[in-house]
Structure 1
Amino acid sequence: MATDHWITLKLDAETGIETIRAHFTGHAYDPHWHDSYLIGITEQGVQQFNCRRQLHNSLPGQAFMLEPGEVHDGNAPAPDGFTYSMLYLQPHWLDAQMRALFEDAPAHCLPGFSHTLACEPALVQHIARAFAALHHQDLRIVRHAALDDLLETLSRTLHWRAPGPEPLRLPSVAIKAREYLHAHVEQDIGLDDLAGATGVDRFRLSRAFKAAYGLAPHAYLVQLRLSLARKLLRQGLTPADVAAALGFADQSHLGRWFRRAYGLSPARYRSHCTNLPDR
């Protein structure tokens, strides 16, 4: 990873929203996903990333929006890099807010984004205002107003999708393997274990899984552990305790993967989210 980068991160205790402002040059981060909705703007440069099987170039004046679980990476194709501001919205918070603000929201559905990039000046403006209000801890009433304006603007972009089982188009072997990984996330799983659980050979399993989820099984397991690591770090667990709980060899092993996915160390992430020092 290029060393010419910086990251500032804040956690809003009231809403659980993380705000991140960062600058990267060269390779920014490896393919990964989040459990949150990602809503942000590119302030400077070109932010290039793969998502939804497409290569996207986010430019200043555009908003980018990703749903929970969507695999994406990050790269700066120009030598001066890119700078972005982003909000991480917890799904339960976004769902509750949208239903409270809009009575016509359908029951038993989840918000979704029709497009990854949007050239909508009003949306970009409200993302910037909400980010500034939360990141700089403005008055509560100012934060609430900024978020309400953002949610109202987002409502024109959102669609509603029904939750449920995996899409029927996905092969059953990939679904079974994913379920096995989630059920044994902290264990030292091998491809032979997955093959035995799904009833196919390792090569067919790996091809089906990557085609379905965009990552090989081993990469998916690492990202699953990293997603859980963020939650545990926000709860105040130390990086060493998190590494032990999730099956990483040690704290250094967790740290290497964490920095590749998120651009900062577990200890730094924990300190920004909890105001607790590493010990």
Structure 2
Amino acid sequence: MDQPTWLELSRDADMPIEAIRAHFTGHAYDPHWHDSYLIGVTEQGVQQFHSRRKQHRSRPGTVFMLEPGELHDGDAIDEQGFTYRMLYLDPAFVRQQLLDQFTDAPQSVELLFARTLSGDVGLARATFDAFQMLHDGEGKMVREAALGQLFSALTRHSYWRKPQRIYHDNPLAHQARAFMQDRLADNIGLSDMAVALGVDRFRLSREFQAAFGLPPHAWLIQLRLTHARRLLAAGIAPADVAARSGFADQSHLGRWFRRAYQLTPARYQRCTNLPD
């Protein structure tokens, strides 16, 4: 993963939202996932990435939409690089906001996006404006109004699906994922998980990567980083975050956190607006 040419990060004081603006050249980031909904707009250049087993190219004015857990990477296609604005939105917050828009939406549903990219000019403008209001720290009512416009525009690009509680396609992979989620802070090995699930570790690794796009160890690191990020945002000391997220110590957390987010845990924690 290359370092961004520059990066700005702000966290909303009242709502579970982060706003990031960044510029990358070359290889931007390796395959990874987030536990948030991502809504962004490419400002300049062409952002090339893989998601949903397809290659996408987001050009200036294009909106890109990613669901929680959706694997994606990122690259620039030329030396000019690319610039984007992006909002990280908490799933429960997004669901409630859109349920308010869909007065007849069924209960116990998952929100999905109909497509990854959109040329919807209204959605692009609403995303741009919501980002700017949050990033500039406008008054709460102004920020809420901008988000209301964004969620209203998103209704044209979302749909509901009943959660899949039973997995018939690859039950072993989902069992392994649940195992890691339950033992997030433990020093578990692939061999430990294989024994617990009654399979050999080669089959376990193969089926997990086929289902989720990453080998188990890489997926576990992503899970731990996501958990650490939430704890840091809640104001918990980095040393305690490391212990509660499965990292050996604060230094270990710091190395992985800088690699993933281009910031130290302490700097991320105290950010309100961080031009790099």
Report the TM-score range of the alignment, normalised by the length of the smaller protein: over 0.9
Pairing 1:262–2:261 present: yes
- Which amino acid is 2:160 matched to? W
Deviations 1:56-80 (A, max 9, x none): 2111110000011111122222112
Q: How far apart are 1:187 and its partner, in Å? A: 1.1
Report the counterpart of residue 41 of structure 2 in structure 1: 41
Tell me the matched-pair count. 274
Report the counterpart of residue 134 of structure 1 in structure 2: 134
Residues 177, 197 of structure 1: 8 Å contact kept? no
- What SS does structure 1 have at the residue aligned with 2:271? helix
Q: In structure 2, how many angstroms separate the alpha carbons of the residues matched to 1:62 and 1:123?
A: 9
Q: In structure 2, how many angstroms separate the alpha carbons of the residues matched to 1:55 and 1:269?
A: 31
Deviations 1:143-195 (A, max 9, x none): 222111111110011000112325422x2211111111111111111111111
Report the counterpart of residue 244 of structure 2 in structure 1: 245
- Say what the alpha-carbon RMSD is for the aligned residues: 1.7
**Deviating 4+ runs (over 6 angstroms):** none
Report the counterpart of residue 223 of structure 2 in structure 1: 224
Segments of 5+ residues of structure 1 without an aligned counterpart are none
Q: In structure 1, how many angstroms separate the alpha carbons of the residues matched to 2:106 and 2:50?
A: 31
- Which amino acid is 1:180 matched to? F
Q: In structure 2, how many angstroms separate the alpha carbons of the residues matched to 1:266 and 1:224?
A: 16
Q: In structure 1, how many angstroms separate the alpha carbons of the residues matched to 2:258 and 2:31?
A: 12
Q: Judging changes above 3 Å, is the alpha-carbon distance between structure 1 residues 168 and 158 closer, same or farther for their aligned structure 2 residues? A: same
Q: How far apart are 1:232 and its partner, in Å? A: 0.5
TM-score (norm 2): 0.94
- Which amino acid is 1:100 matched to? D
Report the counterpart of residue 196 of structure 2 in structure 1: 197
Q: In structure 1, how many angstroms separate the alpha carbons of the residues matched to 2:141 and 2:249?
A: 44
Name the % identity.
Answer: 54
Q: In structure 2, how many angstroms separate the alpha carbons of the residues matched to 1:89 and 1:68?
A: 9
Q: In structure 1, how many angstroms separate the alpha carbons of the residues matched to 2:4 and 2:161?
A: 40
Within-5 A mapping of 1:71-90: 71-90=71-90
Q: In structure 2, how many angstroms separate the alpha carbons of the residues matched to 1:147 and 1:45?
A: 26
Report the counterpart of residue 187 of structure 2 in structure 1: 188
Deviations 1:83-124 (A, max 9, x none): 110111111111111122331222221211011111111111
Residues 46, 77 of structure 1: 8 Å contact kept? yes
Q: In structure 2, how many angstroms separate the alpha carbons of the residues matched to 1:243 and 1:211?
A: 29
Q: Comparing both chains, which one has the higher relative contact order based on Cα–Cα distances under 8 Å and sequence gaps of 6 or more?
A: 2
Report the counterpart of residue 161 of structure 2 in structure 1: 161
Q: In structure 1, how many angstroms separate the alpha carbons of the residues matched to 2:50 and 2:153?
A: 25
Deviations 1:204-251 (A, max 9, x none): 111100000111000011111001001110011222221122221222
Q: In structure 2, how many angstroms separate the alpha carbons of the residues matched to 1:166 and 1:135?
A: 40
Residues 23, 81 of structure 2: 8 Å contact kept? yes
Report the counterpart of residue 148 of structure 1 in structure 2: 148
- Which amino acid is 1:228 matched to? H
Q: How far apart are 1:46 and its partner, in Å? A: 1.4
Segments of 5+ residues of structure 2 without an aligned counterpart are none
TM-score (norm 1): 0.93
Residues 236, 274 of structure 1: 8 Å contact kept? no
Pairing 1:178–2:177 present: yes
Q: In structure 1, how many angstroms separate the alpha carbons of the residues matched to 2:136 and 2:90?
A: 19
Q: Judging changes above 3 Å, is the alpha-carbon distance between structure 1 residues 55 and 259 closer, same or farther for their aligned structure 2 residues? A: farther
Q: Judging changes above 3 Å, is the alpha-carbon distance between structure 1 residues 57 and 176 closer, same or farther for their aligned structure 2 residues? A: same
